[in-house]
Structure 1
Amino acid sequence: MATRRIALTLFSSNTCSLCSVVKTTLDRVHQKVPFTLSTIDIHSPECPKDLAQAYMFDIPVVHLNGQFLLQHRVGEDKLEEALKKYQATGVVERIKT
C-alpha cells in the first residue's frame, strides 16, 4: 500500500504567540510522520485575500493538502493520529480543539 503524501500549510503571523506553539507541535510530529510544511503569514501578499480575511482572528490555522485541518491548538497525539489516518484513507478529518 502506497502512503499518501502530506503537505501541510500553516497560516500564521509573526506576532502570534500561539502560532509558535503550534509550529513546535508540528516539528515534533514531523519526527514521527513525514510531511512538507509551508508557512504563510496572513498579512503577506502571498496569502490569498479570502483566507487572510477568514483567518484574521483565528490563527494559527493548518491545512492538509489544501483542506482545513485545524485551528488554534492541537495536541501531538491528535495531530499524529489525523495525519496517519489521512495516509491510510485519504480522508482529511478536521481536528476539533
Structure 2
Amino acid sequence: MATRRIALTLFSSNTCSLCSVVKTTLDRVQQKVPFTLSTIDIHSPECPKDLAQAYMFDIPVVHLNGQFLLQHRVGEDKLEEALKKYQATGVVERIKT
C-alpha cells in the first residue's frame, strides 16, 4: 500500500501564543509521522482573504492537504492518530478539541 503524502498548513500569526503551542505539537508529531508543513500568517498578503477573514478570531487553524483539520488546541496523540488514519484511508477527519 502506498503511503499518502501529507501536507499540513498552519494558519497563524506572530502575535498568537497558542499558535506557538500548536507549532511545537506539530514539530513533535512530525518526528513520528512525516509531513510537510507550511505556515501562513493570516495578516500576510499570501493568505487568501476569505481564509484570513474566516480565521481572524480562530487561529491557530491547520489544514491537511487543503482541507480543514483542526483549530485552537490539539494533543499529540489525537494529531498522530488523525494523520495515520489519513495515510490509511485518504479521509480527512476533523479533530474536535
Q: Where on the TM-score scale, by shorter chain, does this alignment land: which range?
A: over 0.9
Displacement of 1:39 in angstroms is 0.1
How many positions carry a matched residue from both structures?
Answer: 97
Q: Which runs of 5+ in 2 are unaligned?
A: none
Query: Per-residue CA shift, 1:28-56, capped at 9, x if unaligned?
Result: 00000000000000000000000000000
Aligned match of 1:96: 96
RMSD (Å), alpha carbons: 0.1
Moved over 2 A (4+): none
**Aligned equivalents of 2:39 and 2:27: distance in 1?**
12
Q: Which runs of 5+ in 1 are unaligned?
A: none
**Aligned equivalents of 2:30 and 2:9: distance in 1?**
13
Displacement of 1:92 in angstroms is 0.0
**Aligned equivalents of 1:12 and 1:61: distance in 2?**
7
Displacement of 1:74 in angstroms is 0.0
TM-score, structure 2 length as denominator?
Answer: 1.00
Q: Percent identity?
A: 99
**Aligned equivalents of 1:31 and 1:42: distance in 2?**
26
